[in-house]
Chain A
Amino acid sequence: MSSPEERWWSVRAGEYVLGTLRGYDLELFERILLHDTAMQAEVALWERRFSGLHETTQAVPPGEHVWPGILNRIRAQDAASVETVRSATAEAPGSVVAQRSPSPNTNFMRRQRSTLWPLVAGLATAASLVLGFLLYERTGTAVALPLRVDGLAVVLSDEDGEPYFLVETDYANQRVRVTALTPPELPADRNFQLWQAVPDRSSVRAVARLPRESGRSRVFDVDTLIEGSDLFGVSLEPEEASTDAGPTGPVVAHGDFLLTGNAD
């Protein structure tokens, strides 16, 4: 895995194995995992990578009642399976009932997941949609934080968490300031373009070109921002590129927000 998207997925798989994915992120990842063999392999690889940590764990003998409890449980389960087979055979002679056939609920879940994955996979295909993917990925987990907050700071970072830009809102003075923190060096014919998601996250809108050099800021009117949307991204765009149709270059950073001042 080497592209930014692939690295992102690998980190996601690592977070899944660590157990730090929560809520919708976890639910979505598990849905994808059911169908995506590459992701299953990536998860298995992380499991193997981390399994050495178990060698640092001191083995502790469990209580003596634990093993009889396990034995009782598997015998009860096996007895129930046999009874199910007998009943089914009695009802429909000659039919074969698989002991471990999936329940209707399992099938329902699988159908649900199979409709979800193409959507996610589709979103991840084009550079212009990588941002859309990031928006989708955050759906359900992002706090619905209104932008009309003084001192709201959005840190735009790359996949490694390197902070490229800081967006700060100042509603008292009706302005927004974007400061370049540690952006990478750019070819002369490329620019950093800031985008903001619309509130329903169905698309993005161009906000402003960003400074290229570390420490430089750009200030613009607060009305440039879309109220009620809390997600930003930065793409690399050619000098003369139109911003009408969304990003044309790779998305190099996206935003995590922090509250640094008082909400009104």
Chain B
Amino acid sequence: MSSTTRSDLPIDEYDRRERLAELLTGCSQRHEEDLEELYRLYSGQLYGVLRRILRNEAIAEEALQDSFFKIWEKADSYSSAAGSPMAWMNSIARHQALDVLRLRRSRENHESPDTTGWVDSMPDMAKPLHEMSADAQLLMLCLDRLPDAARDCIVKAYCEGYSHDELSAGTQVPLGTVKSWIRRGLLTLRKCLDELS
């Protein structure tokens, strides 16, 4: 995936990234007003991500607090070389949610497959494809090239925090098969994205 330049992006998308990057710089200099603007611009998006993974509003709100606290604390480590500010913040929020899930699972002392809403919990597809960024369109194109089972497992793991065990329970196939689907799917996805970008 090549680095993104101004000419690759619509003006508003480019400006948005630039603004978010500026706000992160402000956070690294302990400017509360920059964190507040960052929160106003992006908390809804991160909360949507957290709610989807954690499936509980109160826990997702707590994870959102933790995520913004980490964004504040780690803002000085953000570099545009590591990707867009959105990808960086999403990564912090997702890992926060995954930590919460792991803690919950370890307290229960076992992986507790929760396949509630298995069929209805796929991505919302809130945006039509043509309104997505170039990177997102490319990703969708490559995901479409995967076998259905591999694509579903990868999307559910990423978007909803499903573990191998939960995916195995949800699809009713052996654990090893699910792992193979995901590993093969990742290799295919990587190849496709490298070729097309």
Contact = CB atoms under 8 A, between A and B. Distances in A.
B154 A18 contact: yes
A54 interface: yes
Contacts of B163: 19-20, 22
B183 A60 contact: no
Given A14-B190, A19-B157, A66-B65, A54 B49 contact: yes
Give the size range of B's interface with the partner: 35 or more
Interface in B114-141: 123-127, 132-133, 135-140
B1 A51 contact: no
A5 interface: no
A73 B189 contact: no
B104 interface: no
A105 interface: no
A26 B50 CA distance: 21
Interface stretch (A110-118, A156-164, A173-181, A216-224): A156-164
A62 B64 contact: yes
Given A11-B183, A47-B83, A52-B137, A258 B176 contact: yes
Contacts, number: 170
Contacts of A155: 176
Contacts of A77: 69
A19 B137 CA distance: 23
B82 interface: yes
A7 B189 CA distance: 12
A95 to B, nearest CB: 22
A104 interface: no
Contacts of B154: 18
A252 to B, nearest CB: 15
Interface string B14-45: 00000000000000001010011001000111
Contacts of A73: 65, 69
Describe A's contact surface by its main secondary structure. Answer: helix
B48 A57 contact: yes
Contacts of A44: 82-83
Contact of B139 (A45, A52, A57, A159): A52
Given A49-B190, A51-B84, A59-B47, A157 B182 contact: no
B139 A62 contact: no
A78 interface: yes
Interface in B75-131: 82-84, 86-88, 90-91, 94-95, 98, 101-102, 123-127
A256 interface: yes
Given A15-B183, A44-B82, A58 B124 contact: yes
A107 B115 CA distance: 40
B155 interface: yes
A10 B194 CA distance: 13
A19 B68 contact: no
10 contacts: A18-B182, A22-B102, A49-B135, A53-B123, A56-B127, A57-B48, A61-B47, A62-B61, A66-B64, A159-B187
- Nearest first, the 4 A-B pairs at minimum CB distance are A52-B136, A161-B180, A59-B44, A56-B123
Interface of A: 7, 10-11, 14-15, 17-20, 22, 44-45, 47-63, 65-67, 69-71, 73-74, 77-78, 100, 155, 157, 159-162, 256, 258
